[in-house]
Amino acid sequence: MSTGKRTGGRSAAVLAQVRTAVEDLVRERGAERVTIPLIAERAGVNPTSIYRRWGDLATMLNDIATYRLDPARPLPDTGELRADLVAWAGEIVEHYAKPVNAALLRGGAASAGKTESDCLRNRRAEAVVLASRSGAPFAADDLIDLVIAPIIYRVIFLPWTLTEGPSLAERYVDRLLATGRAAPDAELGSGP
């Protein structure tokens, strides 16, 4: 007997309906006006199905805000560190340049409270992988601070500037690489 969640069949169809409903409602009303009963009604599912899978609205928004940036997806790996970083950062910029994804990120981050949002947790895990690559002259913390944080700042406060796309990603990656200030083996989140 399997204890894992089913990934195909009816579960996949329900998940797709719920995600679509959340995206549509956030686009129409804003994340702050979305409720689980509204989502269930729009998706054509029972609210208990949503509560069973996610538990609460905050968890659901966090999950749906990042599902297209699946942390299990392969990271760029061209053999050239700068190109990989620019492609990775560009993918994040492109994702959050879509207003619904930005609204979901804001809603998920606001509802995360004192816990780390899925978006940040996933980007941290990716930063650890990228910082561990041969020749990386930075720590994962630097990748978060100098590349991801400015992108997220723009998502929240200056969303119209995300249209700069690749040049924005290049600018932040080049700034990171120019610092070269941290040991590549420094652990993310480790303090003095």
What is residue 119's predicted lDDT score, i.e. its pLDDT?
Answer: 78
Residue 127's pLDDT is 94
| H-type alpha helices, the chain | 9-29, 36-43, 47-54, 57-66, 81-96, 99-112, 118-131, 140-143, 149-157, 165-179
CA 20 to chain centre: 17
- pLDDT at site 143: 95
* pLDDT tens for each residue of 3-12: 344 445 668 8
pLDDT of residue 42: 96
Residues in the chain: 192
What is the pTM assigned to this prediction?
A: 0.73
Q: List per-residue pLDDT tens for the chain, 192 residues long.
A: 333 444 456 688 888 899 899 989 988 988 889 999 999 999 999 999 999 988 888 888 877 877 667 767 899 999 999 999 999 999 999 888 888 888 888 877 776 667 777 778 888 999 999 999 988 899 999 999 999 999 999 988 888 888 865 689 999 999 999 986 544 333 434 333
pLDDT of residue 31: 81
Phi-psi region of 72 (alpha: psi -120 to 50; beta: other; left: phi over 0): alpha
So what's the pLDDT on residue 62? 76
